[in-house]
Every structure is written in structure tokens, then in C-alpha cells.
Structure 1
């Protein structure tokens, strides 16, 4: 079970080209086994060597955990942003004194209530397992990751300044609030910096970044240099943000957006009409039978959406539209790349029912 969690962390941290390279190597070795080319022991030994190398990557990441001598601890939301932050800190030569903690949750989706208890965490884990196709991890693995996060937060030394990074989206805004909630009672100096605001000021961009993971490393380095103490929080600020975490997380909804500097909980079907409108706009891309590849629709939906939600939520809503009889499917909905969709054509009997129904 422990290896499964480590393998997931390792593969999630790899870049696309690295994944392709390792996959080519594994397939080549398997091909040699199948063709019985070369000694079996040699091929197996090379596969084990690759396994040890990749698993060792996870151990090397411990260098980013808080240590007694560190002066700053950066808390970020998401693996993509964490990768960029590591590169930026390395480039500035700060890795000995600046450490990193990653919140790996997508706080924009799923239930957030009572995460301080194993029962609340199970509710969240079960929701992802039931609705998000890529969420294959068990409740046990979710629990292990959460406990690892708590351990890292406990390791933060008292003299280190804690810098929590956020941006203009519900995911990072709720992540920042959750971090402060989990750090309740610690005496450190806390600061919050908004990457989208900093980069907008630096580069005079009219369109702020939706998510910090979109920011290139060189721009992130300049944002780090720009830390001037303006983000430091007073006790009243921290109390208010912790209160907001409690109030929003206790709401029963499973989708959140960022609007007018406030996290709002909206209905689960909030983007359903938006997805249908994008589907209608893409009619020129459909095949002879009128079907559109679901990945194509989701890609366009993400590109034009002002919010950072994540492709997995849009894919979940497509499946709900299929279950509700609004969309027709060709393929198997195990992942977005495996099926296509189109508007379901109503039968004559269905149309007659609609005509006969009294207007409200």
C-alpha cells in the first residue's frame, strides 16, 4: 500500500517528456522479455534499477521538507505550481533556507466539511472516487497523504516565516485558508502573496493568470524577489481567514468559484449550460455521425473559462449530462479520451410530451 502511494506521487511529479521516455524504456524491456531476447535476469535487473531510480526521486524530495535551520517555508497549492516554485528557489540559490510544502487538493471541487476528522476526509475521498475518473486512490491513501501534510506543518520551526501563495481562483484561495486553519496556534510570522496580482503588476498583463501553475519559472523568480513584507498578516487577518474557511467548508456544495474577491459555493450543474453552448459552437469539428470527441470539448471549455476548475470536473459534468439523457455517447466513459458525445435528438413521443405539458 505504501509503495502504491509513493508510485502515485512519483508519476504525478514527472513531466510529459519524462513519462514518455520511461514508458519507451519499459515497453522495450517488456518487448525483449516477450521475444526472449537476452538473458531474463538482465532485463529484470534493468527494470528493477529503473524502479529504484524513480522511487528514489520521492526520497530526494525530502530536501524540501522544513528543517530547524530554515528561515522561510513556502506553502503552495498543486503539484504544477510546486514544481515551478522548486525551480525558482533553486535558480535564486535559496534552497538551503527556503523550504516547500504542497497542498495537493483541488479545493474548488468536492465536499470540504469536517476535514479535521477521518469521517469528513472519507466523505471527500468517497466523492472523488464516485465522481472523478482519475481519482483512483483509496481512502487509506488519502488519509496517509493528509497525515504526511500535518507532519510537515508540525516540522515548521518557530523562527521561519510562513509564506502562503494564492491566486485569483477558488482552489488556491480555499487552499490558503485551509493552510491557516491547519497552522492555528503556531507563533510564526505569516504572509500571503497573490501571484496573479504580482505578475500583473510586473508585466502589465490585462489578463491575470488564472492559476499559479501557469506562471513561468523566470517570472516566478521575480515575484519571489518582490516579496517586500506587504503580505504579512496581523492576528485579525488570520482570524478572519480562518473563519472564512470554516464557514465555506461547512456549506454542502461541491463546486466553488472566485468572484469579486469572494469564494462562492455554486450548484454542481453551474457549468452544464456553458458546456452545452461550447458543444454547439464546435459543430464544425464533429464527425460524420455528429459526435465530438469529449477531450476536444473539455479543452475548449477550459481555455475559455474565466475560472480555474480543472478538466476532471468538466468531464464529470459531461457524464452527468449523458446520464440525464441530454447527451448521447459513443465509446466508454472511463476517461475523456475514450468517448465522444453529441446532443441527444428527442423522439417524436418526447417532443409531443413537451408540447402537451402546461407552461409554468
Structure 2
């Protein structure tokens, strides 16, 4: 499989919400089970999987229907493909897909260089991901085309449409919010700002049933439907808000670091090794299975780190820091670091 085909598959699956992705997985597992039970043929399985593959690829082509059109009344700006998939599903459930459109900013703004306003800065970001993040080997031309596609979609927003920017209390979405406002700063549209996680927690949390969402992508579409139905004009940004957020974006992009967190209602740049000691502490707390010479699956450690971290960073960054600790001689490795599932680590 070439890189282009892999990227098509990745974008198609990333754009699906949890409720949309599960049926595809269930379908594949059911078909594989039938073959194992000799109730189907490998030829039939291959044919049906090819149809599934073609359908997934077609999702990329159908994404155009969510682009702004002249008669749309609302444009929702969201951060991340997972949240975008849930948002689209929620809008469909409300019957709003014709007048409410979605633009997703796909970057993990918490990590990597952020000089996105210049071609040189985008090249630097692409190179950093290529050199440090597994799965970040995207062609620069593809990276540049995707960025230009977002700019083109923003240009298509009609003057009378309400722009709704969704965010939550993490560095990725807070920086994404500031990037969105920076890109929209010259448009005449009104811009409203909503914290998706806070809205849903306020709507659904009870003393006996409490969920704290780390990012908007964790919110199921049925809860988003209720949040969308309560949109009003009380969250609109004024010109002072827009100027402040635009300035904050520019300050962030001038920083040279590659890791950012959200603390005390502000984006804070921290050293690249900020979570190294945290990872080592989690490694010491976990007990490897007996007979494995003290090695622990890196995926288990990263899962534990994500589950207990007060910030939303993403598994890719933790995996990158594990490899850095291996290169520095702090950790020993068993396996091949081609992905977190393929190797184990222990203290050297």
C-alpha cells in the first residue's frame, strides 16, 4: 500500500464519530468469524471487504457536502476529526445538515512547531512530525493542500452565516480556537464560542453520575444534539475578544517549543521532556506480567499515562517521549519501535 492510499484511509476513519466507526468494525469482525466457522468463503469475505473499503474511501468525497454553501445559516468550527464526525452525526440527527455546515481544524495544536501562517513554518511542522511522531510521515504537498483546503472553506462562509467555534479546556482546542479566530478575524460574520465539554457536563452530570470530558471528541453525538439545540447569541465575541484571541495566537506561534498545556485559563509552553518523569513514575507503579523479564508493553504504559494525566496531549506524544528515553539510555527496549503495540520497555 502506498502512502497516498494510507492517508485516504486514515482521513476517512478519523472523520468518523464513535457511533459511526463501531458498525464498520463490527461488520468486519462478524465476516471474519463466519469464515473461521467455515460458513463463508475467503472470496466472499474479500469481495465484501473491498466494498467496505470503497465505501470508506467514498467518505472523503462525501465530505464536500459539509462544506459551507450560500444558503447555510451556521458554520461550526471544530478541532479534530473525531469531534467533527460526532458533530456531523448530531446535526443529521437534528435534521440540520442542509443549513449547518462543519469545518474541522485537524491539527493537534498541543504539540509541534506552530508557525502555520507561513509556508516555511508549515514545512517545519511537517518535518517535526515526520522525524518524531509515528504515522506523521505525511507528504509536505499533502499537508500544504489540506491547509489550503481549510482556508478555501473559510472563504466560502456566506456573510450572513453564524460562525460557532467549539472548544474545551485543553491546549489543543484552546489553541485551535485562537487559530480559528485569527483566520476569521477579517470576516464580517458574528462568531460565537462554546465549550462543548462544559455544556454537556452541565446538562448531564448528576451527583450520582459524573463524567469529566478531557476533549470534545469524547462526547457522544446524542449529547451534542442537546447542546446544539441550546445555541443562542449570548456567547458572541465582540471586537475586543477577537483582537485579544488573535494576539494570543500570534504570541503562541512565536514560541520555539514543541509542547503546550492549558493551565489557569492560559496556554503555557513547557519543555519537551515535561512528562518524562511522569512516564517513568507510571512505569515504576505498574507491575509487568511475570516471566517477561521486567518488560512492560509500551501500549499499557501509555494507556495508563493518558488515563491519569490532567492534560489532553495525545498518545503519539507520549510514545515519542518513550523512544527519546530509550535513545538516552534511560530505558531498555524489547521489540521494534514501529508503534506502541510492537515493543516493551523497562528501566535500564
Q: TM-score, normalised by structure 2?
A: 0.88
Secondary structure at 2:237 match in 1:
coil
Secondary structure at 2:92 match in 1:
helix
Unaligned runs of 5+ in 2: 36-40
Q: Deviations over 1:311-357 (max 9, x none)?
A: 0000000000001110110001110000000010xxxxxxxxxxxxx
Alignment of structure 1 residues 33-44 onto 2, 5 Å:
none
Alignment of structure 1 residues 244-259 onto 2, 5 Å:
244-259=248-263
* Matching residue of 2:38: none
- Asked whether the 8 Å contact 1:170–1:257 carries over to 2, the reply is yes
- Structure 1 distance, partners of 2:223, 2:13, is 26
Higher mean alpha-carbon deviation, 268-277 vs 83-92, is at: 83-92
- Structure 2 distance, partners of 1:286, 1:277, is 20
- Asked whether the 8 Å contact 1:330–1:341 carries over to 2, the reply is yes
- Pair 1:18-2:24 in alignment: yes
Q: Deviations over 1:255-275 (max 9, x none)?
A: 010001101010000000000
Alignment of structure 1 residues 85-104 onto 2, 5 Å:
85-104=87-106
Higher mean alpha-carbon deviation, 278-287 vs 211-220, is at: 278-287
* Matching residue of 1:145: 146
Q: CA deviation at 1:56?
A: 2.0
- Pair 1:336-2:340 in alignment: yes
- Asked whether the 8 Å contact 1:286–1:292 carries over to 2, the reply is no
- Pair 1:188-2:189 in alignment: yes
Q: CA deviation at 1:136?
A: 2.5
Q: Which has the larger radius of gyration?
A: 1
- Cα gap change, 1:17/1:281 in structure 2, threshold over 3 Å: closer, same or farther? farther
- Cα gap change, 1:266/1:71 in structure 2, threshold over 3 Å: closer, same or farther? same
Q: Deviations over 1:202-230 (max 9, x none)?
A: 23466631100111222211211222222
- Structure 1 distance, partners of 2:11, 2:315, is 19
Q: Deviations over 1:261-299 (max 9, x none)?
A: 101010000000000000000025464300000000000
- Structure 2 distance, partners of 1:154, 1:99, is 13
Q: TM-score, normalised by structure 1?
A: 0.86
- Asked whether the 8 Å contact 1:199–1:208 carries over to 2, the reply is no
Q: CA deviation at 1:253?
A: 0.6
* Matching residue of 1:274: 278
Q: CA deviation at 1:112?
A: 0.2
Higher mean alpha-carbon deviation, 193-202 vs 118-127, is at: 193-202
- Structure 2 distance, partners of 1:330, 1:3, is 31
Unaligned runs of 5+ in 1: 30-34, 345-360
- Cα gap change, 1:219/1:43 in structure 2, threshold over 3 Å: closer, same or farther? closer
Higher mean alpha-carbon deviation, 133-142 vs 43-52, is at: 43-52
Q: CA deviation at 1:16?
A: 5.0
- Cα gap change, 1:327/1:135 in structure 2, threshold over 3 Å: closer, same or farther? same
Q: CA deviation at 1:23?
A: 8.5
- Cα gap change, 1:11/1:88 in structure 2, threshold over 3 Å: closer, same or farther? closer
Q: CA deviation at 1:17?
A: 5.0
Alignment of structure 1 residues 1-360 onto 2, 5 Å:
5-14=7-16, 15=21, 17-19=23-25, 21=27, 51-113=53-115, 115-204=116-205, 208-285=212-289, 287-344=291-348
Q: How many residues align?
A: 334
Q: CA deviation at 1:182?
A: 1.2
Secondary structure at 1:192 match in 2:
strand
- Asked whether the 8 Å contact 2:66–2:103 carries over to 1, the reply is yes
